[in-house]
Amino acid sequence: MDNSIINEKPLEVFCILAETLSGWKDPHSAEGKEILFKHYEWGSELKKNGKLILAGPTDFELISSREVNPIGHTTGLIMLNVSTREEAILWAEKDPFHIHGFRKNVVHSLRISMTEKTLYETLEKIIEKK
């Protein structure tokens, strides 16, 4: 087996997978828009504190076009630069989508074993700041 595809050392991170619950409110509604803005403020706080690696909605094109009902689907992925699962859980529980019952945030550990070299180098610099 060719080991050149494996990173020199794995990068350890935590990911939040966000499952949309029945309490979801359309972001075009007044309540949905209010919580969406609070969710963005939460993301901004993660970024400001150096905890955010990446974040974004999943299946956005299907959900926004209403081809897929978001309830019961994982509709968000947030990758965190934190040291412990406990810290990742604390951040996940602060998400307004989670607090208001729009989504359920579940924390998973992720060992990044394979990436493109330039992505690995970028992630390594971010993660070394822990």
Domains held by the chain: number: 1
Assign residue 92 the CATH number of its domain.
3.30.70.1060
pLDDT digits (tens, 9 = 90+) for 35-87: 999 999 999 999 999 999 999 999 988 888 888 889 999 999 999 999 999 99
Q: Do the beta carbons of residue 11 and residue 112 sit within 8 Å?
A: yes
Angle at the Cα of 27 from the Cα atoms of 14 and 92, rounded to 5 degrees = 20
Q: Which pLDDT value is given to residue 73? A: 93
The pTM score is: 0.87
CA 108 from centroid of its chain's CA atoms: 10
Instruction: Count CB-CB contacts under 10 A for residue 40.
Output: 11
Question: Cα–Cα distance between 38 and 10 in angstroms, integer?
Answer: 34
Structural domain of 120: 3-127
Tell me the pairing of strands 74-80 and 52-57: antiparallel
